[in-house]
A and B are shown apart, each in its own frame.
Chain A
Amino acid sequence: MRHLGFLTFFVIICFEISSAQSVAGSIAGAVIDGDGKSVPAATVSFQRLAEFSRDSEMRLVRNDPGISGVLMSQQDGTFLISGLVTGRYMVCARGPNSKSLTGCGWEATAVIKLGQGENVNKIVRRTFEGSSIVIRVSDPQQKVSLPDTKGNLVADRRLFVGVVSPQGFYRPAIPATFVAGATSTDFRVVVPKRQSFRLFLDSDLTITDNLGNAIERQKASDFFVSPGTSDEIIVDLGVR
């Protein structure tokens, strides 16, 4: 994540004000971590959703692509996005730590409907401390076909691995760069600490746990992964 400085923030706000045809509004709130503590210097991103109308054929026509921008929270974790025009805003925050995760990625976060000149306050956005889950898939017979740069692969030898949170967020684990002749592949995904996740496998191959038991595929399985407070855990799987 790239952090934009105050200058960029200023530019964005000026843009908003200059493009506004109505009285500007604002969104203010605070960024906290999983323990409820304020998060200074968090990256706060906001996005006004696109606006649409329907044409004579009932087709959705986008009138306004919306805008997006970022700013940083203050030392006390608060933020103020001002100069906003009417619209629906998605506001998310992410801590300064490289393993920090935005709460928007892991908990339901409703858009903020901002009326003309409205000031919405006391918005709370959470960040999570991340933990890497490395899913190491042993594949001595090299059955797995990983996608190339265009996503092409051998369909019946594909293996996609991901995790599903209790709230229903799915995140794919990204395979390490493919190495020809490798007999194992690491898939990596960063998840919030202290949560438990179900493994989701998409494959026609039979994938087993370290005890040799087949794991359910094409669904959120009963194979749970819980990183606890570790920065990284490794889960060993195999291709039968």
Chain B
Amino acid sequence: MSVMDSMIEVITPFICTMIRYRCLWVQLLRGWALSNSQCTIYGTAGTGQISSTATDLTVNIRIGLTGSFALTTQTVYLWIVDNLWAGTGWVATSSWPLAAPQPPAVISGTPTATNVSPQTFTFTGRDPNGATDMGRMYFLVNSSPTIPQNVCHGFYDRPSNGLYLYNDSITVLMGPLTPGSSGSLQNTHCTIYGTGSALVSAAGTDLVVNIRIGLTGLFSLKTQKVYLWIVDNAQTGTGWVQTSTWTSSVPSIAPSSFEINLSAVPLDQYNTPGSGGLIFGCTANTVRLCVQQLFQSNPYNYRAQGVTGVRFFFTLAGGYHSTPFDAAGNVNPVWSQNIYDFFSDLKLYGITKVTPTPVFDTWSGPVSMMQAISATSCGEPVTLNFVPWLPYGLDLTENYPDRSCGNQSYSQAAHNPIFWGWTRFFNLMNTVLSRAAQAQLSVNALDYYQETNMADFTVMARFIYDFYPPGAGTSVDVLTELRNRMTSNGFSAGRIAPSANGPAKPTPASANCTNWYGDSALLETLTAQTAAIAGPWSKFGVPPFHSEFDYSLKCYNPATDPAEDETMPSIPVWHSQPTFTDMHSQKMYATDADTTTFSNSFHSLLWTFLVNRGLSGNDVVFGETNPVNCDGWTSTAAAAMITGYKSSTLYANAGARVTMRPWHRTETGSACVSSPHVINPPFNPFAP
């Protein structure tokens, strides 16, 4: 639309304006807008401003031309009539050189590429009809120039100098937010910040606006594009024009597999009406329906976030709604059916791998199942706590595994007088494996005894080979028995992989030294487990170490420390090493910089360990770092862990074989956040 503010000088208070013969005579009444098909006379915006002196009358009239009439050059004529009806005749006062109104154009959006969030974008639009002809500058952050639900979409309204943002479902407009103000607008996918946003200029033909946008949650993990669409006062628009590419600000770990921890799954209640509340944040009626939400129906389900694997715990004696045995010690058929339902559901929702993890801790059953029993341990009478699922006793006060005689405890600590025995456990694991096979899932690993520390607690090695002195019982080759069951169910025996307890936490974060085993002292628990599995080839347990300096590590100096510790045991049977290495890496420091330093050191040393031990072909887990604010963890600390990992030799040499497995709990009462949750950066499974 073309508009001209005309100043018409007359000598009579009766005012008419005619433009050629097509514009009707109108009477100006302040506040009105009078239109025909050729023009509009505005009663506001300057029209009607009248001043008069002794001889002169000055009037402003705001005129807009419309339609085809506005497409060619016009001349403005004036004819003044006085009170005696004497007229001037038409006098040309102005030439109005009109042309076809030009559409606006998107000139630029800078930066054109970024991986920073929040990012201030400078958007420039141009309209030959003037900057003020551009009414709205729409923006869209999405992978394509469409506006589905759940994107970042809004606009800058020039006349009101306001920013607006649509909600997730694009049904509610939030705003206005004045650029430069301290407020913000937010949906699930992005935040528009007042601070950092600004109307830079609206002069001449260009409109320049800064808009500060931050991406959030899952949306921030994927590469996005930034689009602009400018609409002028005539509602002519540019269409979507891509101005920028916005790659994730998160360091990508792709390619790798991505596995979510569910912690303990209440398998007893899987199909029980009213059980959905066991999953924190779930409003469905059953655990089973909650699992559907977790992996399929929730907009933020884990599959949508790229998760392809599931690690889960199950308790052994009803500790968290999992009772796999009946009174006779046989696998409960209902439990067996429920875990099959669980596996089948996961398969249906697109999960391909599982890592079953039985719980051997004290919470695997009710407290009433723990008995304080007098026993002989390490040759001396002692009272220990016993639970029937463990082959050894627990310290009476702390419930630590029995270490009554330090390294000797593997063979000399009391055997559990109320132990269920291994057959029951093997039957259970066979059920789990056969059910996984039946559901056509693969087993990424069988973490059958999680977070071992066979350095400080050598009795834990009974989970590899439960050794009895002659005449005291029959030794059981636990690892081989489990491997046989993996093989018989079609899975790789090497995937029997007990995880190792987290690394020692050195001070400073960069500290490292070599332990007696010849590996980094940070990896003591993994080294000890490896040594135990190697049987007669190696001793395990607490090795000789020295204490001249304190990194909180058990450093070994061959020049001054004993070459041997005769108390360190060996397992009498050799086993090949697993093909899957799982040492949890959840350490965190007060500063993210230190966390990054530690992570880099730890993961590089882990790679060195794998190379030195001939295990460089192993698959590896980046495990149990919590990516959300929980139990002292923060998402930025988790990002710092990833940053350190990405600069490690493990990532450089074996990144494609690393499973990312962030920690998460789903149990109501234990979980920090409801499920499913947005697995915040840094666990980005997507390629940039």
Contact = CB atoms under 8 A, between A and B. Distances in A.
Interface stretch (B16-24, B132-140, B336-344, B468-476): B468-476
B661 interface: no
Interface stretch (A32-40, A136-144, A149-157): A149-157
A200 B400 CA distance: 31
B451 A1 contact: no
Contact of A164 (B361, B406, B469): B469
A2 B406 CA distance: 22
Contacts, number: 163
A101 B566 contact: yes
Contacts of B553: 65
A101 B564 CA distance: 11
A125 B296 CA distance: 64
A56 B631 contact: yes
A160 to B, nearest CB: 4
B562 A1 contact: yes
B456 A108 contact: no
A15 B87 CA distance: 116
Contacts of A49: 403, 406, 456, 542
B380 interface: yes
Contact of B404 (A110, A164, A172): A110
Given A108-B405, A111-B404, A151 B534 contact: yes
Interface residues of B, number: 64
Interface in A12-50: 12, 15, 45, 47, 49-50
Contacts of A110: 377-380, 404-405
Given A70-B562, A111-B406, A168 B467 contact: yes
Contact of B614 (A1, A101, A151): A151
A152 B411 contact: no
B511 to A, nearest CB: 12
B572 A164 contact: yes
B581 interface: no
A170 B532 CA distance: 13
B379 A200 contact: no
Interface stretch (B33-41, B118-126, B543-551, B589-597): B543-551
Number of chain A interface residues as a range? 35 or more
B184 interface: no
A171 B472 CA distance: 18
Interface string A185-219: 00000000000001010100000000000000011
B552 interface: yes
A67 interface: yes
Contacts of B305: none
B442 interface: no
Contact of B542 (A50, A92, A152, A166): A50
Nearest to A168: B469
A12 B563 contact: no
Interface string B375-392: 001111000000000000
B566 A94 contact: yes
A10 interface: no
Nearest to B552: A65
A104 B562 CA distance: 15
A15 B546 CA distance: 12
Contact of A62 (B361, B378, B504, B562): B504
Nearest to B555: A65
Interface in A52-96: 52, 55-62, 64-70, 88, 90, 92, 94
Nearest to B565: A45
B566 A105 contact: yes
Nearest to A4: B560
Given A49-B456, A110-B380, A1 B576 contact: no
B561 interface: yes
B501 interface: yes
B547 A69 contact: yes
Contacts of A178: none
Nearest to B467: A170
Contacts of B477: 218
A220 interface: yes
- Ranked 7 nearest A-B pairs via Cβ: A168-B469, A108-B379, A105-B566, A172-B536, A160-B536, A90-B406, A150-B614
Given A49-B456, A108-B408, A151-B538, 15 more contacts: A8-B560, A49-B403, A49-B406, A52-B400, A59-B501, A65-B553, A68-B545, A92-B567, A152-B614, A160-B537, A162-B570, A169-B569, A170-B569, A172-B537, A202-B535
